[in-house]
Amino acid sequence: MNITLQYFDGCPNWKIADERLAVLAAGHLDLGIGYQQIETVEDAERVGFHGSPTILIDGTDPFSRADGSVGLACRIYQTPQGPAGAPTLEQLREAIDPQ
């Protein structure tokens, strides 16, 4: 399974997502994590970037919303604790292993 963490440097939330993904990767040897830095609005539009961090699992965004805008912005995730800058560890676990 391949995970791509899309981010831009202006948003610190991608580091939280990265830490949580590292925890998951330690328990899943088949999990590869790659990074894609989005640098410009044009890059964001070209790849359909819905904000930092965006987590793609085998090329698909499991947290996508129909009304999600494209651009250089920090992304907000709905978690059991309320809005947050990254999915919880449990939400990520469920996204990679939705049994």
Q: Which residue has the tokens 């999915």?
A: 87
| DSSP 8-state assignment for residue 72 | S
List, for residues 9-49, the tens digit of each pLDDT value: 999 999 999 999 999 999 888 889 999 999 999 999 999 99
Residue 87 has pLDDT above 70, yes or no: yes
Total domain count, the chain? 1
Q: Is 6 helix (H, G, I), strand (E, B) or coil?
A: strand
Structural domain for 27, as ranges: 2-96
Instruction: Give pLDDT, residue 28.
Output: 84
Supply 56's token pair.
């793609």
Instruction: Give pLDDT, residue 71.
Output: 87
Give the CA angle between residues 90, 83, 10 to the nearest 5°: 95
Please give the residue that has the higher pLDDT: either 65 or 81: 81
Q: Which residues, other chains included, contact 14 with Cβ-Cβ below 8 Å and sequence gap of 6+?
A: 5, 7, 8, 52, 53, 86
Residue 65 has pLDDT above 90, yes or no: no
* CATH number for the domain harbouring residue 51: 3.40.30.10
Instruction: Give pLDDT, residue 99.
Output: 64
Whole-number Å distance between alpha carbons of 88 and 57: 15
Whole-number Å distance between alpha carbons of 9 and 17: 13
Instruction: Give pLDDT, residue 34.
Output: 96
